Amino acid sequence: MDQIRISLVVALLFTSSDAVRICNKFCDGDAGSNQVANSRVAFSVDLFFRKISIFVSDSENVAFAKIENGDPNDEVWIDRSWNGGRSWEDGVRIGNIAIPSGSREVTTNLFNIDGSFSERQIGVLRACGKAGERDDIACTAWTRSAAHSGNPTEAAATGLMMDYNGNGQWDTTGWWNAANCLTTIIDYMKVTNDRTFIYAIDTTFEKNKNQFEGNFCNDYLDDTAWWGLAWVGAFDLTGDQKYLDTAKITADFMYTFTDDRCGGGVYWSNARKYKNAITNELFIKLAAAIHNRIQGDTKYLNWAVEVWQWFDKSGMINNQNLINDGLNDNCQNNGDVTWTYNQGVILGGFVELFKATGDRGYLDRARKIADAAVASSYLNPNGILHEPCDNNGNDCGGDGPSFKGVFGRNMGELNAALDDKPYTEYLRNNANKIYENRNTIGQYGLHYEGPFQFHSAASQHSALDMLTAARRFQ
């Protein structure tokens, strides 16, 4: 009779419009929690001498909760979140069940961890419980199974896609960071051949192609370039010409913001007041990348070489072979911060220029900048990549959490282009340090070296960038 009552409660619960009922191999609410294959205790928590646990089956990708050493009317249930634990299904206590009379424990039925990824149902679960009429509630840590999380890189990719939303962007981060999230997922798919998240490419494209100026162009030229590079990557992965055509539109748009002030270069924004490093580095990489994907092109290569030659003479590369932020009103290096991504994007740009021209001088110049960055105690204390704003208590704002990932991504591209693969150990050391500082569901915060703080989709893609870069050289 107790099992009949349990099944009735579950059935009634999932007729509610507040909860999503998932059916995979098992349906939410199916009985059999004690028999499911290879279940393990993921986490437990104590409450007034009671033990509340979340059990996970990696093979079946399901979970159930249990309360032990309790009294009749003590309750246990599952919370399930589709956004990495920021919120859960409208406060519904999934599978809520009380210890029956004459017993000291009870177990919920089975519940799926994931649903349809294309419907943004990447789940994390926890077990919660309460003691009788007391108001106190205790919950375990969030967890998930090894499904789509079987290795560090896959788990980080799944963690990033927890933040993917119905607008084809990423919760917890901004517009240009979203372009990097997409680029990172594309790079992950290229390196691993895992196509689980390929749906995100066209979803993002179709839902956002009319934003701002259209075709992923907007007032900030660096934002435009980030999206252009994302669509180059999308073209590489899918072969769909519309992505490369869009990348060409972004480069064409950016080039209209060049002039002879300070001798050349692309402005940072349509206000035409500031010429900086990141915008021009991105343009060099974007234009050269487009050239390498168009047979017989000369326009985009000429643009890339033109802007590189200007950039080389601009003074933004300082006497330590590090790159400062931009130029002052007198067209001189402004001495501003040597952000990690300024040392990174140019490396990928050099790789594209080398592919376009066969001139190994580009790779030699890339090595000088990469070596300077790695040797810098400012950027790499103890050999681990560190953002200048990346101190405990400082969340680096909305932009900074993306920067280190951009460096790792482009360092990986350079390392792949060099015969001796000189940065493999550096990439692996950073990836290993990052992995040490994840949370229980494969999320990463701002600090590569720890502690886990300030998680966002930007910090997640940054970690995944480095993990993917290292994965290339396993």
Q: Classify residue 365 as left (phi > 0), alpha (psi -120 to 50) or beta.
A: alpha
3-state secondary structure the chain: CHHHHHHHHHHHHCCCCCCCCCECCCECCCCCCCCCCCEEEEEEEEECCEEEEEEEECCCCEEEEEEECCCCCCEEEEEEECCCCCCCHHHCCEEEEECCCCCCCEECCCEECCCCHHHCCCCEEEEEEECCCCCCEEECCCECCCCCCCCHHHHHHHHHHCCECCCCCECCCCHHHHHHHHHHHHHHHHHHCCCCCCHHHHHHHHHHCCCCCCCCCCCEHHHHHHHHHHHHHHHHHHCCHHHHHHHHHHHHHHHCCECCHHHCCECCECCCCCCEHHHHHHHHHHHHHHHCCCCCCCHHHHHHHHHHHHHHHCCCECCCCCECCEECCCCCECCCCCCHHHHHHHHHHHHHHHHHHCCCHHHHHHHHHHHHHHHCCCCCHHHCCCCCCCCCCCCCCCCHHHHHHHHHHHHHHHHHHCCCCCCHHHHHHHHHHHHHCCCCCCCCCCCCCCCCCCCCHHHHHHHHHHHHHHHCCC
Q: How far, in Å, are 202, 211, 230 from residue 205 at the CA level?
A: 5, 10, 10
Percent of the chain with pLDDT over 90: 91
Distance CA 305, CA 299 (A): 10
| Phi and psi, residue 42, nearest 5° | -80, -50
Burial of 382 (0-12, 13-18, 19+ CB in 10 A): exposed
pLDDT at 16: 39
- Whole-model pTM over 0.85: yes
CB atoms within 10 A of CB 1: 6
Burial of 393 (0-12, 13-18, 19+ CB in 10 A): exposed
Mean pLDDT of 187-196: 97
How many residues can be counted in the chain?
Answer: 474
The per-residue pLDDT of the chain, averaged, comes to 94
Identify the CA nearest to 424 among candidates 389, 386, 376, 472: 472
Q: Are 185 and 150 in contact (CB under 8 A)?
A: no
Query: Is 134 a residue whose pLDDT tops 50?
Result: yes
Query: Is 394 a residue whose pLDDT tops 50?
Result: yes
pLDDT at 19: 65
Burial of 462 (0-12, 13-18, 19+ CB in 10 A): buried
Token pair in block for residue 220: 């900030």
Query: Is 120 a residue whose pLDDT tops 50?
Result: yes
Identify the CA nearest to 338 among candidates 367, 305, 374: 374
Domain boundary assignment for the chain: 2-139, 152-471
Fold of 152-471: Glycosyltransferase (1.50.10)
Residue range 19-78, pLDDT digits in tens: 688 999 999 999 977 778 789 999 999 999 999 999 999 999 999 999 999 999 999 999
Amino acid at 230: A
Distance CA 76, CA 218 (A): 50
Q: Which of 81-90, 170-179, 248-257, 414-423 has the weakest average pLDDT?
A: 81-90
Tally of CA atoms within 13 A in the half-sphere of 211 that contains its CB: 18
Residue range 435-470, pLDDT digits in tens: 999 999 999 999 999 999 999 999 999 999 999 999
Burial of 174 (0-12, 13-18, 19+ CB in 10 A): middle
Query: Is 90 a residue whose pLDDT tops 80?
Result: no
Mean pLDDT of 259-270: 98
Q: Are 222 and 268 in contact (CB under 8 A)?
A: yes
List of residues 6+ apart from 331 with CB closer than 8 A: 261, 262, 263, 314, 315
Mean pLDDT of 181-189: 98
Q: ∠390-338-220 over CA atoms, to 5°?
A: 90
